[in-house]
Chains A and B, each alone.
Chain A
């Protein structure tokens, strides 16, 4: 399906693409046909800077299972990091 569904996550950080590092303020998250990945449907994340017009993006297309593992790993890393650095995750 072509879902039209895009979940916009406002964020603070940087991402690196072919043109080097850029500040990013938004992640566009969707689950739909990928452009490149050898999958029928993929979880896509486009990291962009909307304040600067979102002309560049750093993109990933992941299988559903990979995306779930990644989400869990992010939470695990944040929890461990918070414990080691004494910060709230």
Chain B
């Protein structure tokens, strides 16, 4: 038994309006074809955690691009740039969709690509993953980890830059979706997760939802108090299996 060699580093991609974006790209360093994942960071920004998660996906046999959605708002450290973007309310959904198209193009242009692409995100990135999966063709799988504001119960949570609740776009979802949720989370709440699942069933979509007791929001984050080892380990295994099924086979030693 051994481990996959890995290559990781900063790359450029063509974002919305042709803007030159930066991203972290990690992949198994082997001469074989593999599925690609676009990994979306949460609202605070392009942080250490998202780079770690990208390497984790590469370690388990996928090519992963983690774009810096705030690349237009530099210069500065990722936390300062994230604060700047937060102060003006986040990035526009329309801009985000354009950036996703660029990341898809990047992944499929790599010599190691098997042509299949998933989008995955945590927290607001989960919402983004849902939004991308319903707004842009060309995804083979969607992974939503506790995306808040997929369901919008208070219209005040909509804005000119986030004009539509992603749940209202679900009919346009063309790829299978995996949802990972904590039963003690309030955003999304268990009731919102249930309503989301009911809609997926009603629309005949292919999906897998996994709900975990004893966890709230963000329970994969090993460096935070919300981390729950048992549930996080199982959740990651569900992610690898889902990606293996829909964008794999994943690369193994």
Contacts and interface: CB of A to CB of B under 8 A. Distances in A.
Interface of A: 1-4, 6, 8, 28, 30, 32-36, 38-40, 44, 46, 48, 54-55, 57, 59
B87 A35 contact: no
A48 to B, nearest CB: 7
Interface string B17-48: 00000000000000000000000001111010
A43 to B, nearest CB: 13
A57 B223 CA distance: 25
State the main secondary structure of chain A at its contact with B.
loop
B36 to A, nearest CB: 24
B198 interface: no
Contacts of B80: 57
| B: contact size bracket | 20 to 34
Given A6-B89, A28-B83, A40-B218, 11 more contacts: A1-B186, A4-B43, A4-B89, A28-B86, A32-B44, A35-B79, A36-B79, A44-B83, A55-B76, A57-B84, A59-B83
Contact of B224 (A4, A30, A39, A46): A39
Contacts of B218: 33, 40
Contacts of A32: 43-44, 86
A44 B83 CA distance: 10
Contacts, number: 69
Interface in B34-80: 42-45, 47, 76, 79-80
B82 A2 contact: no
State the main secondary structure of chain B at its contact with A.
loop
A2 B43 contact: yes
B90 A4 contact: yes
B87 A48 contact: yes
B124 interface: yes
A46 B217 CA distance: 24
Contacts of B149: 4
Interface in B172-193: 185-187
A5 to B, nearest CB: 9
Contacts of A48: 87
A19 to B, nearest CB: 12
A40 B146 CA distance: 14
